[in-house]
Amino acid sequence: MNIGIICTGDEITEGLVQEQNLYYIAKELAPLGYRVIEAVVIRDEIELIVKAVERLRESCRLVVITGGLGPTFDDVTLEALSIVTGIPLEDDVSYLEELTKRFSSRYGREIPEQLRHQARTLRGSIPIENPSGSARGLFFTNEHHADYLVMPGPPHELREVLANALQVIRKPEHILVRRTIGFVEVTEAEISPILESLRRRFPHVRMITRADYAIGPTVFLIAREEHSKDIQRVAKELSERFRGFAFTTRGEDFLGLLVDRLRGRGLTLSTAESCTGGMLSSALVSVPGVSDTFLGGVTTYSNTSKLSVLGISKDLIDKHGAVSKECAAVMAENVSGVFSADVGLAITGIAGPTGATSNKPLGLVYSAIHSRIRQEIYESVYTGTRHNIMTKASYGLLKKLWRMLFRQ
């Protein structure tokens, strides 16, 4: 079932707050078989809302509108809907009584005129309870045109009203099945031709790719329930074709899965960081329950601290520099000793904007993995801002650890 979403609010078009409802509505409705074909964000103006509704109802069976239900002068969503449908607004007398009672019991004062507006509703619509606020949602069904679902704008209220709305709104004909495949160390451009041939062979499976610059591409597979076997087949082919590069076929989070696998092998980790400044260790610590796997780390930002805390020789730094393969290797080895960890990870590099030299460019990063049985050292040149380089270096090393330990 095609649906359209209209989010109203000057605070959004002015760039003062991040719009959140569109994502939440799509995330909740898409898996149920609703198909969002367009979402519009507009100012709180009657004519703009009227135009948007008139346009979306042409191609949608359901038009969802959020915002503009509050008590202030710019809350005009119901007026707009009344204009579009030609159906008058009326007061819901019993809800007005309830509002009046609620207000006086909470504040001990008479209900302000503005709040009385919130008892207004479109004649013939179904009210939807809002446990967190005074603006209820409403559903208006139409046999011949689009249905309308109106919900309040504050995100925490919207979530509760949407849950109630799902009991009331028209159901889609088809249930959807989904699968999520995550990749490391392979590019979207390399996955793309394989997907194209899979698309030809499995026309009932929708395939959506997203590139996350820190981790790697993710492919989402979506199909109607009757084609769920096709989804399994596509997932299997993709993970076999990219064996060693697909870290999940069930949508797990990369960091969570990495920590899980390390725990399964009983391996402990420690980190030594220079240019990433603690980002590598805080990425690991973002995973709940990581304490039996991650023992600790050091950020040796100054050269002196590399000498004193990690026991790196002054000779080594004088000869090769702090940004060098040699330094990364010894950092990884020594930090595993400091924390008595099975594995030591190390990163040293030039995150910029200054610090580059003629033979060591901006973005040059050396990283290393040290364990008792294996050592690997990597040289990379990352592009982007200081933050991007730090992020790519941190996640890049975790991806390499994953490939080294768990590639099939």
For 147, the token pair is 């249905």
Residue number with CB closer to its own copies (72 or 375): 72
Q: Nearest 5°: CA angle at 157, between 153 and 162?
A: 90
- Binding to its own copies in span 295-334, by CB under 8 A: 295-302, 304-305, 308-309
How far, in Å, are 57, 84, 137, 149 from residue 142 at the CA level? 11, 13, 17, 11
Which residue shows structure tokens 């979506």?
Answer: 222
- Binding to its own copies in span 362-381, by CB under 8 A: 381
Stretch that binds its own copies, among 22-30, 84-92, 234-242, 367-375 (CB under 8 A): 22-30
Stretch that binds its own copies, among 104-112, 227-235, 236-244, 365-373 (CB under 8 A): 104-112
Stretch that binds its own copies, among 28-36, 252-260, 324-332, 365-373 (CB under 8 A): 28-36
For 300, the token pair is 């040796």
Q: Is 275 in the site for its own copies (CB under 8 A)?
A: yes
- Binding to its own copies in span 106-165, by CB under 8 A: 106-107, 112-115, 131-133, 154, 156-157, 160
Residue number with CB closer to its own copies (140 or 154): 154
- Binding to its own copies in span 229-258, by CB under 8 A: none
CB of 278 to its own copies, least distance (A): 3
Q: Is 14 in the site for its own copies (CB under 8 A)?
A: yes
Residue number with CB closer to its own copies (124 or 208): 208
CA atoms within 13 A on the CB side of 295: 17
Residue number with CB closer to its own copies (140 or 218): 218
Q: Which of 285, 297, 271 is nearest to 401 (CA)?
A: 271
Stretch that binds its own copies, among 226-234, 235-243, 289-297, 396-404 (CB under 8 A): 289-297
Q: Is 96 in the site for its own copies (CB under 8 A)?
A: no
Q: Is 30 in the site for its own copies (CB under 8 A)?
A: yes
Q: How far apart are CA 75 and CA 80, in angstroms?
A: 10
CB of 277 to its own copies, least distance (A): 2
Q: How far apart are CA 390 and CA 388, in angstroms?
A: 5
Q: Is 266 in the site for its own copies (CB under 8 A)?
A: no
CB count, 10 Å around CB of 247? 25
Residue number with CB closer to its own copies (132 or 232): 132
Q: Is 284 in the site for its own copies (CB under 8 A)?
A: yes
CB of 85 to its own copies, least distance (A): 22
User: Checking DSSP bridges between strand 2-8 and strand 35-42, what pairing results, if any?
Assistant: parallel
Q: Which of 44, 336, 314, 1 is nearest to 175 (CA)?
A: 1
Give me the 169-188 binding string for its own copies, x by CB under 8 A, dash otherwise. Answer: ------------------xx
Q: Is 294 in the site for its own copies (CB under 8 A)?
A: yes
User: What are residue 131's phi and psi, to 5 degrees?
Assistant: -70, -15
How many residues at the interface with its own copies, by CB under 8 A?
Answer: 110
Q: Is 203 in the site for its own copies (CB under 8 A)?
A: no
Q: Which of 166, 175, 208, 404 binds its own copies (CB under 8 A)?
A: 208
Q: How far apart are CA 110 and CA 292, in angstroms?
A: 58
CB of 188 to its own copies, least distance (A): 6
What are the strands, taking DSSP E only, across 305-360? 343-349
DSSP element (H, E) containing 208: strand 206-212
CB of 373 to its own copies, least distance (A): 23
Q: How far apart are CA 317 and CA 326, in angstroms?
A: 9
CA atoms within 13 A on the CB side of 46: 9
Q: Is 390 in the site for its own copies (CB under 8 A)?
A: yes
Q: How far apart are CA 301 and CA 71, in angstroms?
A: 54
Residue number with CB closer to its own copies (84 or 275): 275
CB of 378 to its own copies, least distance (A): 12
Q: Is 404 in the site for its own copies (CB under 8 A)?
A: no
Q: Is 13 in the site for its own copies (CB under 8 A)?
A: yes
Q: Write the secondary structure of 130-189 as one string of H (helix), E (strand) and C (coil).
A: CCCCCCCEEEECCCCCCEEEEECCCHHHHHHHHHHHCCCCCCCCCCEEEEEEEECCCCHH
**How many residues are given for the chain?**
408
As a whole number of Å, the CA-based R_g of the chain is 28
Q: Is 1 in the site for its own copies (CB under 8 A)?
A: no
Q: Is 290 in the site for its own copies (CB under 8 A)?
A: yes
Residue number with CB closer to its own copies (17 or 404): 17
